Amino acid sequence: MDSIRRILALMVKEFLALLKDPRSRTVVMFPPIIQTILFGYAATFDLREIPYAVYDQSRSVESRELLAGLEGSKNFTLIGHIHRHGEIAELVDAGKVKLVVMIREDFARQLRAGNPATMQAILDGRNSNTASIVANYLTGVVQNYNLALLERMDSSERQLAAGPSVLVVRHWFNENLLSRWFFIPGLVGLIALLVTLLVTSLSVAREREHGTFDQLLVTPMPPTEILIGKALPGLIIGVLEATLILCIALFWFEIPLRGSLATLYAGLVAFIFAAVGIGLMISSLAKTMQQALLGTFLFMMPATLLSGFATPIENMAPVVQHLTVINPLRYIFVLLRGVFIEGASFALLANQIWPLAIIGACNLAAAGWLFRHRIY
C-alpha cells in the first residue's frame, strides 16, 4: 500500500508540474487540435475539379457525346480546347492541366463501321498517385459512354462492337508511374529540413541550458555576428545532408536526374537558408533543449502535411492552400521533382527559389530580433 501511495503521490506531482506550466499546457492541448483539423482538410486523396484540356480532331457527334460525359462529371473541369499538337506540351509542362484528352480524326468513322475507336489520354505523371486516380476516373467515363452506345445497338451489332471505344493512356515524365520517382526526390528536402532544424534549434537552447548564453551576449561580438555564427553550421550541414540523400537517390535507387545540378543546388541552398531561419527562431524561443526538440517536431508534422509531399495541394481546402504559401517545403518539392523528373530549367523554377529566399530572410530577421532583446 505504501508503494501505491508513493506512486500516486508522484503521479499527482507530475500532473501538477505539467498543468502549472503554461507552455506545457499549450503543448498538450493545442497541437493535437490543430493537427487534427489540418489532417481533416489537407490529408485527402480525393480529386475534384481536375483541370483538363481537349484536342478533338474528330469534331463529330460521337466525340461530343463522349466529351459531354467529362463535362458533366464533378471530378473534371475543362480548361480549354487545343487546336495544335504543340499546345499539349505547353499545358502539361506548365502544370495547367492534369489531363489532355485527344480524339483522333477517324474516331466517328471507326465507330460507325463497327470497329473499336481509340482515344488517347495524356496524363501528368509527376505525381504517380494523382495520375492513377485521374486515369481511373477517365476510364469510368469511357465505360459509361461504351454502355450508352451498346444500349443503342441491336444484338448483332453488339456482338461485333463489344468495345466501341478504346482508351489509350500515356503518362508524361513518369512513364511507368513508379512511385519512388515521385517520393524519393521529396525525401531530399524532407530529411535535409529535419536535420537542419535539429542542428539549429538546439544551438541557442543548448547555450541557455548550460548557462553560457548570457556570456555569449556580453562578448564583443554583435548580435549579427552571433546570428551568422549560429546559422552557418546549420547551412553547411544541411547542404551536406541533402547531398548525401541526393547521392542515394541517384546511385542506389537510380532516380533519373534530367535537369541541371546548378539549378538543384540553387534551390537547395535557398531552402536550407529558410530552414536555418526557422530553426534559429525555434531555438530563440526555447528555454531548454527538450523544448527545442519538441518545437522542431511540432513544426515538422504540419509543414510536411501542407507541403504536397503525399497529397496534392490543389486537393486541400482553399484556406489551407493559402497557408502553404509560407511553407518552404512546398517550394522545394516542386523544384526537386521539376529537376529530377521533368528536367526543368532555372528559368522555369525561379518562381520556386525566390519565395524561399524571402522566407529565410524574414525568419533570420525575426531570430536576430529575439537575440537582441534576450526574451529570457
Q: What is the pLDDT of residues 341-355, one digit of tens each?
A: 777 788 888 888 999
The residue-averaged pLDDT of 42-46 equals 55
Rounded (5°) CA angle 81-86-89: 85
pLDDT for the residue numbered 333 = 87
In a shared domain, residues 197 and 241? yes
In a shared domain, residues 85 and 106? yes
pLDDT for the residue numbered 44 = 56
- By C-alpha distance, which of 267, 273, 277 is closest to 334? 267
pLDDT for the residue numbered 162 = 47
In a shared domain, residues 138 and 235? no
pLDDT for the residue numbered 221 = 66
Q: How confident is the model at residue 186 (pLDDT cuts 50, 70, 90)?
A: confident
**Radius of gyration (C-alpha) of the chain in whole angstroms:** 27
Please enumerate, as own/partner, the contacts of 239-248 that have beta carbons within 8 Å and a separation of 24 or more.
239/192, 239/265, 239/268, 239/269, 239/272, 241/191, 241/192, 241/195, 241/196, 242/188, 242/189, 242/191, 242/192, 242/268, 242/272, 245/187, 245/188, 245/191, 245/192, 246/188
Of the segments 166-180, 287-301, 306-320, which one has the largest average pLDDT value? Answer: 287-301
Asked if the model's pLDDT at residue 168 lies above 50, the reply is yes
Residue 30 lies in a domain: no
In a shared domain, residues 95 and 160? yes
In a shared domain, residues 184 and 148? no
Among 172, 193, 226, the domain boundary falls at 172
**Amino acid identity for residue 365 in this structure:** A
Q: How confident is the model at residue 376 (pLDDT cuts 50, 70, 90)?
A: very low
Residue 34 lies in a domain: no
CA–CA distances in Å: residue 17 to residues 11, 22, 179, 333: 10, 10, 47, 41
Task: Please state the length of the chain.
Answer: 376
**Which of 61-70, 259-268, 331-340 has the lowest average pLDDT?**
61-70
Residue with the bigger pLDDT between 65 and 47: it is 65
Residue 355: give the domain boundaries.
Answer: 179-373
- Find out whether 52 and 99 touch, Cβ atoms under 8 Å: yes
pLDDT for the residue numbered 354 = 92
Region for residue 33 given its phi and psi (left: phi exceeds 0; alpha: psi -120 to 50; beta: otherwise): alpha
Asked if the model's pLDDT at residue 253 lies above 60, the reply is yes
SS3 category, 118: strand
Residue 294 lies in a domain: yes
Q: How confident is the model at residue 270 (pLDDT cuts 50, 70, 90)?
A: very high
- By C-alpha distance, which of 32, 259, 220 is closest to 126? 259
Asked if the model's pLDDT at residue 156 lies above 50, the reply is no
pLDDT for the residue numbered 268 = 92
State the chain's mean pLDDT as an integer: 76
**Amino acid identity for residue 24 in this structure:** S
**Which of 24-38, 54-68, 231-245 has the lowest average pLDDT?**
24-38
pLDDT for the residue numbered 239 = 86
Residue 239 lies in a domain: yes
Among 135, 152, 172, the domain boundary falls at 172
Query: Domain holding 152: CATH number?
Result: 3.40.1710.10
State pLDDT tens for residues 77-121.
Answer: 888 888 887 788 778 877 788 888 888 888 878 777 777 777 888
How many separate domains does the chain show? 2
pLDDT for the residue numbered 265 = 92
Among 172, 197, 232, the domain boundary falls at 172
| Residue 159 neighbours by CB distance under 10 Å | 10
In a shared domain, residues 198 and 301? yes
In a shared domain, residues 259 and 167? no
Residue 334 lies in a domain: yes
Asked if the model's pLDDT at residue 271 lies above 90, the reply is yes
- Find out whether 267 and 360 touch, Cβ atoms under 8 Å: no
Read off the pTM. Answer: 0.67
Asked if the model's pLDDT at residue 234 lies above 90, the reply is no
Half-sphere exposure of 93 toward its Cβ, with a 13 Å CA cutoff?
12
In a shared domain, residues 168 and 308? no
In a shared domain, residues 211 and 305? yes
Asked if the model's pLDDT at residue 49 lies above 60, the reply is yes
Half-sphere exposure of 334 toward its Cβ, with a 13 Å CA cutoff?
23
Residue 122 lies in a domain: yes
Residue 36 lies in a domain: no
- By C-alpha distance, which of 100, 103, 119, 95 is closest to 53? 100
pLDDT for the residue numbered 189 = 85
In a shared domain, residues 324 and 220? yes
Going by DSSP bridges, is the β-strand pair 99-103/76-81 parallel, antiparallel, or unpaired? unpaired
In a shared domain, residues 102 and 149? yes
CA–CA distances in Å: residue 63 to residues 83, 225, 236, 293: 15, 68, 57, 59
In a shared domain, residues 194 and 127? no
Q: To which residue does cell 466517328 refer? A: 108
State pLDDT tens for residues 115-129.
Answer: 777 788 888 777 767
- Exposed / middle / buried, residue 315 (Cβ in 10 Å: 0-12, 13-18, 19+): buried
Residue 310 lies in a domain: yes
